[in-house]
Structure 1
Amino acid sequence: MDSASTDRPAGAARRWRTAASAARPALVPVGAGVLSLVLLSGYTATGAAGEPPARIEVVDARVDWPGHREATAAFFDIRNTGGSDDTLESVDSPALGITVLGRRSGAGRDARMRPTGPVEVPAQGRLRMTRDTLDVMILDPPALKPGQRVPFTLWFRDSGPIRVTAVTAGPGRTGP
């Protein structure tokens, strides 16, 4: 073999080692940057980045004692002490029949409760259900006694299910 053919592989290996040793100092900052990007992407994808989440609490829950058995209503005072709006999507109870979010429309004898869609609970705000605004309509309720405790689940878009217990208000106090 001549010396030219043996120098080629040795020269290529030498150039490779030189390039690798020159690139080695750059590996640490590049690796740290890639790792940071992956972690930040994961943090954002979980929804943890951005505004603080909603913090929902129900501070008062009552059910009208039904004077008649066709329907009655439940009322909740809901507070959002968090930094983001949330949406009350529905309310249900394993102890009751059909429950529907309802809103009063009309006035006087023409006033009617109509089913309504989801309701927003603003950040740092309050949703107070009353007989004249929004309530939970309970259709064909079972026999309820004054002072009876009734379980409910309020379903929120972001906060998920929140379980509360409402108390049936007696004939002297039938709700807000």
Structure 2
Amino acid sequence: MTEQRLWRPTRRGLTDTLLAALAPIAACTIALGGLTTWTSSGNAGTPAKIAVTDAHVYLPYGNTQDTAAFFRITNTGGAEDRLLKVTSPDADGGTALSRHRMTNGRAAYAETVDSVTVQAGDSLAMSPAGLDVTLRANARWREFDFVPFTLHFQRSGQVKALAVVVRPGRFGA
């Protein structure tokens, strides 16, 4: 009869096994720590939460009724949202989201934009040098009048805002 030997782990075999198991355990621990931090900050799983402030619309000057409106859009939620369009019952004609660009010859032109993303935890400030809402002003508008606007978002739905009519250059715009 042959004698059977019992298997005994070696120090090297145990070390190799421990090192092989350590990498996935460390990765899971780091991921779990990150998720715990994100959840405890209050943003995990929260929808977009949109606020519209600093709303103003320029009083047109000269012989044109074309003008622009500006808003500060803040998303304090945990998910991004998308501004699809802006409407106003007091604007004569339609409105459009537009972005102003510069050519190589230093001339400016407006480019229509289909939508704009507002990242989670971020703010979007419209300005004459960037994004704005172009529209045709109502002939009855006077400085310091309020114009109602509705901002339409993909996830948050409709957000209403009152924009004050100002002369260009007021309120930092």
Query: What's the TM-score, normalizing by structure 2?
Result: 0.68
Contact 1:105 1:111 (8 Å CA) reproduced:
yes
Identify the residue that residue 162 of structure 2 maps to in structure 1.
Answer: 165
Structure 1 residue identity aligned to 2:100: R
Percent of aligned pairs with the same amino acid: 41
Identify the residue that residue 3 of structure 1 maps to in structure 2.
Answer: none
Unaligned runs of 5+ in 2: 1-43
Contact 2:150 2:160 (8 Å CA) reproduced:
yes
Contact 1:148 1:167 (8 Å CA) reproduced:
yes
Identify the residue that residue 142 of structure 1 maps to in structure 2.
Answer: 138
Structure 1 residue identity aligned to 2:85: S
d(CA) in 2 for partners of 1:175, 1:154: 22
Unaligned runs of 5+ in 1: 1-49
Are the structure 2 counterparts of residues 147 and 167 from structure 1 closer, same or farther at C-alpha, using a change threshold of 3 Å? same
Count how many residue pairs are aligned between Structure 1 and Structure 2: 126
Contact 2:55 2:71 (8 Å CA) reproduced:
yes
Structure 2 residue identity aligned to 1:134: L
Are the structure 2 counterparts of residues 90 and 71 from structure 1 closer, same or farther at C-alpha, using a change threshold of 3 Å? same
Identify the residue that residue 85 of structure 1 maps to in structure 2.
Answer: 80
More helix by share: 1
1:105 deviates by: 1.5
Structure 2 residue identity aligned to 1:148: D
What secondary structure does 1:94 align onto?
Answer: coil
1:170 deviates by: 2.9
d(CA) in 2 for partners of 1:142, 1:58: 22
Identify the residue that residue 124 of structure 1 maps to in structure 2.
Answer: 121
Q: Runs of 4+ in structure 1 displaced over 4 angstroms?
A: none
d(CA) in 2 for partners of 1:85, 1:172: 31
Are the structure 2 counterparts of residues 132 and 174 from structure 1 closer, same or farther at C-alpha, using a change threshold of 3 Å? same
1:113 deviates by: 1.1
Structure 2 residue identity aligned to 1:52: T
Contact 1:146 1:171 (8 Å CA) reproduced:
no
1:74 deviates by: 0.1
Q: 1:99 aligns with which of 95, 98, 108?
A: 95
Identify the residue that residue 56 of structure 1 maps to in structure 2.
Answer: 50
Query: What's the TM-score, normalizing by structure 1?
Result: 0.67
RMSD of Structure 2 on Structure 1 (CA):
1.8
1:174 deviates by: 7.3
1:106 deviates by: 1.6
Contact 2:65 2:138 (8 Å CA) reproduced:
no
